[in-house]
């Protein structure tokens, strides 16, 4: 959530950094500059499509319902 995620087509390396709106909150913060430049300078990275939030909650709900409460 709130992240852009990319995967390298050959090495399967995953690179992520905050969405633009988060980066724009503090333009002086260059913590993610290396990751951004890595993705922008190589055509082998593809962006991983985000799951809509309602789908994420459905997946969490399904998982919670599948967990056996007697595992304590």
pLDDT tens-digit profile, the chain (72 residues) = 678 899 999 999 999 888 765 566 666 667 778 888 899 998 999 999 888 888 888 989 999 999 876 655
Say if 72 falls within a structural domain: no
According to the model, what pLDDT value does residue 36 have?
A: 86
Is residue 71 domain-resident? Answer: no
Number of structural domains in the chain? 1
35 neighbors 17 (Cβ within 8 angstroms): yes
Is 23 within the bounds of a domain? yes
pLDDT of residue 32: 78
What range does the domain containing 16 cover?
Answer: 3-66
pLDDT value of residue 28: 66
Report d(CA 14, CA 11) in Å as an integer: 9
d(CA 18, CA 32): 8
Evaluate whether residue 36 is within a structural domain: yes
pTM for the whole structure: 0.63
């Amino acid at each position: 959530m709130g992240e852009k995620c990319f995967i390298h087509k050959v090495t399967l390396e995953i690179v992520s950094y905050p969405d633009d709106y988060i980066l724009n909150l503090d333009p002086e913060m260059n913590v993610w500059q290396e990751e951004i430049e890595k993705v922008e300078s190589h055509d082998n990275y593809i962006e991983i499509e985000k799951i809509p939030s309602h789908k994420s909650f459905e997946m969490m709900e399904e998982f919670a319902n599948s967990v056996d409460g007697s595992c304590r």
